[in-house]
Chain A
């Protein structure tokens, strides 16, 4: 599989508010290709999750066009979409005491009645193993810790086995090792020809694993491109309002973003004051 998954042109999204309408997204144009990992980054409230909702089809843009596989997203039926894209949201609550295996099996439900349902058992087993939750298989979902729930939810998304995978802050509840695991899985999915979009807060993670980074700020796309081009000190400092230093990982050559911090024995960081002035 190659070519474009999503094509967004001048996408805007506004919600009614007391003083007229609030613009959440405006003028976003973006191409998302198969076989690549795209990281969406930006400060809190920048519009990342809304942009992801536009990609999932949950939110219809109030301006512009969104096409998936060349077809306007609005023309896709719910069932077709469920076979084309899988979504991991930030909240992974499950009502009732379903087991981990039950929850992951739910990811196969779009394929019921198709030839691909024959693969159910194999895909469920492999999804459980990849998300490192195979040993939790029989546990009741509500009894899991936050990080375990997040990984089970990821396994459910993997089991859905779709060409497009959309992940909203998949690393939020995870420890260091599992954060790396999740992004390595994202890379593997891309190597297998899938389009992966992942919303991230950790810029170094984005820098290390993404093929492309899109920076959203104030509802606008302020930069998009390879990590080395996008993650530059001036831009990050401007977008996040905090001075940063961008280093190069000696092992991979990828950018590492560090906030500039005052030394514990120095009361005032002169550089921070400078940049604000």
Chain B
């Protein structure tokens, strides 16, 4: 601990010493200031354009690949025909049309939605905790939602019809978020170490709860729960996509509406309050939104970790930390990441469907580690 503090102190001194020459240099180029001020805006346009382009390509590729390969032209043609624009590209074979609309498209749309919602949930969570290491998977919200969903599966509950799993996933996720929120914060701040340790504790309990549910469940529900923990887009149905879309769109709009107020939380609770934010109310609303987004995202496809960590982080590096740009960018970026991840999961091993949660954890785990290392090295960083 002492060694760390020494390093921090050293770096602060360095920052002090470098400040004077740097500011002199900036003053010299005073006339370029207005141009520099808005440098993030054209970049934002570029980032959104590139992300949207990648999204379209990803959708076409993902819908086209599988046991029955379908060309990009046919995919686009089929989509355009459905939109009421007749042209020659549309596939004529009913088998292709069926494959696209009954198997491929629901899966692609599901991966888009789940990626978007998880990345958004991650970005909102980071704003609430004012800490970039907060992520639904890391702190145990996803596994809390998984317990809720597993309970619904094992106990054979159907009280909310097609929404049952989603409702229980939401309740489980909300409970986990509240536990993390109540325990990880002290005096208006959340320290990284506390946050991660809380996550370990929550994940331990939810892991045990899942094990118990598997133990008491029958073979079928056991298999379902195992599938849950690994996460997969396989077998997504339109009815499920509908549930995710309805809840997701509502929660995402609400989230974007509070983006500006979430920015102010970066100043600390008291200062945010002095600027007219009702901090506790905003936090409760945001926590419910995170639980909703995470719960509905994992309700049908299972736990997919680290999307909410990696995507907002990359977008924050590209666009800066302002939530007004960050939240929509994370939404779009998350969709892109999961479309390609799902494509990879289906194609990396021929004729096998790799669980997508395994894939994102393989990439996200090391990323998380690097992020922690960097936090510790940087002075004035993320405490």
Chain B residues lying within 8 Å of A137, measured Cβ to Cβ, are: 26, 33, 36-37
Chain A residues lying within 8 Å of B264, measured Cβ to Cβ, are: 106, 109
Chain A residues lying within 8 Å of B321, measured Cβ to Cβ, are: 96-98, 102
- Bound form: Cα–Cα A110–B276 in Å: 6
Given A78-B277, A82-B275, 9 further pairs, Cβ under 8 A = A82-B276, A86-B274, A87-B270, A91-B268, A97-B320, A106-B263, A135-B27, A138-B26, A148-B19
Interface residue count on the B side (C-beta < 8 Å):
41
Q: Does A143 contact B (CB under 8 A)?
A: yes
Chain B, 263-274, contact with A by CB distance < 8 Å: what is the 0/1 string?
A: 111111011011
Q: Does B381 contact A (CB under 8 A)?
A: yes
Q: Does B65 contact A (CB under 8 A)?
A: no
Chain A residues lying within 8 Å of B263, measured Cβ to Cβ, are: 98, 102, 106
Q: Does B368 contact A (CB under 8 A)?
A: no
In the complex, 24 of the A-B residue pairs with CB atoms within 8 angstroms, ordered by the A residue number, are: A78-B278, A83-B276, A87-B270, A93-B383, A94-B266, A94-B267, A94-B268, A96-B266, A97-B316, A101-B37, A103-B267, A106-B264, A106-B267, A109-B261, A109-B275, A135-B23, A135-B27, A137-B33, A143-B15, A145-B16, A145-B19, A146-B16, A148-B19, A160-B275
Chain B residues lying within 8 Å of A237, measured Cβ to Cβ, are: none
Pick from B132, B271, B381: contact of A87, CB below 8 A: B271
- Chain B, range 113-164, C-beta contacts under 8 Å to A: 130-132
Q: Does A89 contact B (CB under 8 A)?
A: yes
Q: Is the CB of B274 within 8 A of A82?
A: yes
- Bound form: Cα–Cα A173–B131 in Å: 25
By Cβ-Cβ distance, the 8 closest A-B pairs, closest first, are A82-B276, A96-B321, A95-B130, A142-B380, A95-B266, A145-B16, A87-B274, A79-B276
- Chain A, range 139-192, C-beta contacts under 8 Å to B: 139, 142-146, 148, 156, 160
Chain B residues lying within 8 Å of A139, measured Cβ to Cβ, are: 22, 26
Q: Is the CB of B26 within 8 A of A135?
A: yes
Q: Does A30 contact B (CB under 8 A)?
A: no
Chain B residues lying within 8 Å of A109, measured Cβ to Cβ, are: 260-261, 264, 275-276
B114 CB → nearest A CB, Å: 26
Q: Is the CB of B275 within 8 A of A138?
A: no
Q: Does B12 contact A (CB under 8 A)?
A: yes
Interface residues of A (CB under 8 A from B): 56, 58, 78-79, 81-83, 85-87, 89, 91, 93-99, 101-103, 106-107, 109-110, 112, 135-139, 142-146, 148, 156, 160
- Bound form: Cα–Cα A160–B264 in Å: 13
Closest chain B residue to A142, Cβ basis: B380
Q: Does B382 contact A (CB under 8 A)?
A: yes
Chain B residues lying within 8 Å of A81, measured Cβ to Cβ, are: 274, 276
- Bound form: Cα–Cα A148–B275 in Å: 21
A188 CB → nearest B CB, Å: 21
- Bound form: Cα–Cα A163–B380 in Å: 33
B13 CB → nearest A CB, Å: 9
- Bound form: Cα–Cα A99–B38 in Å: 11
- Bound form: Cα–Cα A137–B22 in Å: 12
Q: Does B322 contact A (CB under 8 A)?
A: yes
Q: How many A-B residue pairs have CB under 8 A?
A: 99
Interface residues of B (CB under 8 A from A): 12, 15-16, 19, 22-23, 26-27, 30, 33, 36-37, 39, 130-132, 260-261, 263-268, 270-271, 273-278, 316, 320-322, 378, 380-383
- Bound form: Cα–Cα A87–B277 in Å: 14
Q: Is the CB of B275 within 8 A of A93?
A: no
Q: Is the CB of B275 within 8 A of A145?
A: no
Pick from B36, B316, B378: contact of A138, CB below 8 A: B36
A169 CB → nearest B CB, Å: 15
Closest chain A residue to B129, Cβ basis: A95
B370 CB → nearest A CB, Å: 17
B373 CB → nearest A CB, Å: 17
Q: Is the CB of B260 within 8 A of A95?
A: no
Chain A residues lying within 8 Å of B378, measured Cβ to Cβ, are: 142
- Bound form: Cα–Cα A129–B85 in Å: 57
Chain B residues lying within 8 Å of A107, measured Cβ to Cβ, are: 275
Q: A138-B26, A143-B15 are in contact. Are A98 and B274 (CB under 8 A)?
A: no
Chain A residues lying within 8 Å of B320, measured Cβ to Cβ, are: 97-99, 102
- Bound form: Cα–Cα A223–B44 in Å: 56
- Bound form: Cα–Cα A10–B33 in Å: 51
Q: Is the CB of B132 within 8 A of A136?
A: no
- Bound form: Cα–Cα A160–B271 in Å: 12
B241 CB → nearest A CB, Å: 34
Chain A residues lying within 8 Å of B383, measured Cβ to Cβ, are: 93
- Bound form: Cα–Cα A144–B22 in Å: 11
A54 CB → nearest B CB, Å: 13
B275 CB → nearest A CB, Å: 5
A192 CB → nearest B CB, Å: 20
Chain A residues lying within 8 Å of B271, measured Cβ to Cβ, are: 87, 89
Closest chain B residue to A97, Cβ basis: B321
Q: Is the CB of B274 within 8 A of A145?
A: no
A110 CB → nearest B CB, Å: 5
Chain B residues lying within 8 Å of A144, measured Cβ to Cβ, are: 15, 19
Q: Is the CB of B23 within 8 A of A58?
A: no
Chain B residues lying within 8 Å of A82, measured Cβ to Cβ, are: 274-276
A269 CB → nearest B CB, Å: 34
Closest chain B residue to A96, Cβ basis: B321
- Bound form: Cα–Cα A82–B278 in Å: 11
- Bound form: Cα–Cα A58–B268 in Å: 13
Most chain A CB atoms below 10 A, which of B22, B261, B380: B380
Most chain B CB atoms below 10 A, which of A56, A97, A142, A156: A97
Q: Is the CB of B15 within 8 A of A145?
A: yes
Q: Is the CB of A78 within 8 A of B131?
A: no
- Bound form: Cα–Cα A94–B267 in Å: 5
- Bound form: Cα–Cα A102–B130 in Å: 16
Pick from B30, B130, B268: contact of A96, CB below 8 A: B130
Pick from A87, A95, A97, A145: contact of B12, CB below 8 A: A145
